[in-house]
């Protein structure tokens, strides 16, 4: 690195030790208030910067990327998901984009199990009974949730996180099925059944876990037709991105009881989610907490810092996407 430190715009408050490391490496322009910046504010603050450290709340669309100052050579996102960044637009401007895989796999897989179990066992209505003081007595026949062991889990998107959930789900006695574009080698399948098409896997999925990336191919993929192929009483869990699901279709299936329940950590239009989800007693919902532990968030920040440091010392960032 030259004696002049590269100038980095960091769009959100990050864990303290990540900020300390960034400050040692770079001349940091911070967002002290931690209020989400508009595209206009990002453009103004990026003036004179060499790189950006952004998060999933920053929509780096083609328009914004095209308008970035010429000095910007790298965008490092504090996330594994990169659907908020137009990679083609970044490539066209010769901007390197990096993300933070691996370090949030376990935290996100743990949360997937929480959602799966919570949705199956009625955590949402159970907590409501406690909070609203409507629990009058234990009863043999009500209220009841659903068993998990011995049922089938269909995983849509068997990447790092999907595989980590499969490992946990096996321990709960679930039979694992999965769909992804390419079949995994046997040592990574660990007995899971591969389905070359999502449609083929759906009738065998008592639980459907959405764990794929949000891409032009997967956006809106979980629609009425897909949900209609699930067995009656199936449970849908989404830990990926809200835009993979058609909200009208999912809400109708939950309202009608065709689906028994859903466990959702991600939503279309976060944080302004479809208000009908709040009314459904068979929805166990969390506010995008997949990676939300101090150790994981610290590791994500350090990984983003590693990528920036590698880039500015002339190396190749290990998590380069462009
Ligand atoms: C990611 O990293 O993409 C997650 O959604 C943030 O928790």
Residue 75 and residue 51 in contact, taking contact as beta carbons nearer than 8 Å: yes
In the predicted model, is pLDDT for residue 1 greater than 60? no
> Within 13 A of 213's CA, how many CA atoms are on the CB side?
15
In the predicted model, is pLDDT for residue 2 greater than 80? no
Task: Assess whether 222 and 115 both reside in one domain.
Answer: yes
DSSP 64-124: HHHHS-TT--EEEESSS--TTB-HHHHHHTT-EEE---STTHHHHHHHHHHHHHHHHHTHH
DSSP β-bridge partners for residue 175: 152
Task: Assess whether 45 and 81 both reside in one domain.
Answer: yes
Asked if residue 317 belongs to a domain, the reply is no
Confidence of residue 209 (pLDDT cuts 50, 70, 90): very high
Ligand 1 atom with the shortest distance to the CA of 291: 7
Q: Give CA–CA dist 77/84, Å, rounded.
A: 9
In the predicted model, is pLDDT for residue 3 greater than 80? no
Residue 121 and residue 145 in contact, taking contact as beta carbons nearer than 8 Å: yes
Identify the residue whose C-alpha is closest to ligand 1 atom 4: 79
Which ranges of the chain would DSSP assign to H, the alpha helix?
Answer: 16-25, 39-46, 62-67, 87-92, 105-121, 123-131, 160-171, 186-189, 198-201, 224-228, 247-256, 276-279, 294-312
Asked if residue 1 belongs to a domain, the reply is no
Confidence of residue 53 (pLDDT cuts 50, 70, 90): very high
In the predicted model, is pLDDT for residue 269 greater than 70? yes
Task: Assess whether 131 and 197 both reside in one domain.
Answer: yes
Asked if residue 167 belongs to a domain, the reply is yes
The answer to whether the CB of 51 is under 6 A from ligand 1 is no
pLDDT tens by residue, 157-195: 999 999 999 999 999 999 999 999 999 999 999 999 999
Dist. CA 80 → ligand 1 center (Å): 5
Task: Assess whether 238 and 155 both reside in one domain.
Answer: yes
Task: Assess whether 141 and 255 both reside in one domain.
Answer: yes
pLDDT tens by residue, 63-91: 999 999 999 999 999 999 999 999 999 99
Provide the number of structural domains found in the chain: 2
Asked if residue 318 belongs to a domain, the reply is no
Asked if residue 206 belongs to a domain, the reply is yes
Asked if residue 303 belongs to a domain, the reply is yes
pLDDT tens by residue, 122-163: 999 999 999 999 999 999 999 999 999 999 999 999 999 999
CATH of the domain at 278: 3.40.50.720
Task: Assess whether 205 and 277 both reside in one domain.
Answer: yes
Task: Assess whether 17 and 160 both reside in one domain.
Answer: no
Q: Give CA–CA dist 19/313, Å, rounded.
A: 19
Amino acid 291: pLDDT: 98
Residues with a known catalytic role: 241, 270, 288
Asked if residue 320 belongs to a domain, the reply is no
Residue 42 lies in domain: 7-102+294-312
Q: What is the mean pLDDT of residues 269-297?
A: 98
Q: Which residues 6+ apart lie within 8 Å of 250 measured at CB?
A: 222, 227, 236, 259, 262
DSSP β-bridge partners for residue 154: 177, 208
Task: Assess whether 66 and 116 both reside in one domain.
Answer: no
Q: What percent of the chain has pLDDT over 70?
A: 99
Task: Assess whether 57 and 119 both reside in one domain.
Answer: no
Q: What is the mean pLDDT of residues 196-223?
A: 98
Task: Assess whether 217 and 200 both reside in one domain.
Answer: yes
Average pLDDT, the chain: 97
Residue 233 and residue 210 in contact, taking contact as beta carbons nearer than 8 Å: no
Residue 9 and residue 75 in contact, taking contact as beta carbons nearer than 8 Å: no
Dist. CA 76 → ligand 1 center (Å): 13
Asked if residue 319 belongs to a domain, the reply is no
Task: Assess whether 273 and 307 both reside in one domain.
Answer: no
Q: Give CA–CA dist 311/298, Å, rounded.
A: 20
Radius of gyration of the chain (CA): 21
Q: Give CA–CA dist 282/284, Å, rounded.
A: 7
Task: Assess whether 28 and 175 both reside in one domain.
Answer: no
The answer to whether the CB of 79 is under 6 A from ligand 1 is yes
């Amino acid at each position: 690195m030259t004696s002049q430190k590269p100038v980095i715009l960091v769009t959100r408050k990050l864990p303290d030790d990540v900020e300390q490391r960034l400050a040692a490496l770079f001349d940091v322009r911070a967002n002290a208030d931690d209020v989400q910046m508009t595209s206009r504010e990002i453009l103004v603050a990026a003036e004179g910067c060499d790189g950006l450290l952004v998060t999933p709340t920053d929509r780096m669309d083609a328009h914004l990327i095209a308008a970035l100052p010429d000095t910007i050579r790298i965008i490092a996102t504090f996330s594994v998901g990169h659907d908020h960044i137009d990679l083609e637009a970044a490539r066209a401007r010769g901007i390197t984009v990096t993300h933070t895989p691996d370090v949030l796999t376990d935290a996100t897989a743990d949360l997937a199990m929480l959602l799966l179990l919570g949705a199956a066992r009625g955590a949402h209505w159970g907590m409501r009974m406690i909070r609203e003081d409507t629990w009058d007595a234990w009863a043999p026949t009500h209220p009841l949730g659903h068993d998990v062991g011995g049922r089938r889990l269909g995983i849509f998107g068997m990447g790092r996180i999907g595989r980590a959930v499969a490992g946990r789900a096996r321990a709960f006695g679930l039979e694992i099925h999965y769909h992804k574009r390419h079949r995994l080698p046997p040592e990574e399948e660990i007995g899971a059944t591969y389905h070359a098409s999502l449609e083929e896997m759906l009738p065998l999925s008592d639980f459907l876990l959405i764990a794929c990336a949000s891409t032009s191919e997967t956006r809106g993929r979980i629609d009425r037709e897909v949900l209609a192929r699930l067995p009656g009483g199936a449970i849908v869990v989404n830990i990926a991105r809200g835009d993979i699901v058609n909200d009208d279709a999912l809400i109708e299936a939950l309202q009608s009881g065709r689906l028994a329940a859903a466990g959702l950590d991600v939503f279309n239009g976060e944080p302004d989610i479809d208000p009908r989800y709040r009314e459904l007693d068979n929805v166990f919902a969390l506010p995008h907490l997949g990676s939300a532990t101090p150790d994981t968030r610290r590791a994500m920040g350090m990984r983003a810092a590693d990528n920036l440091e590698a880039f500015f010392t002339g190396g190749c960032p290990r998590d380069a996407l462009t």
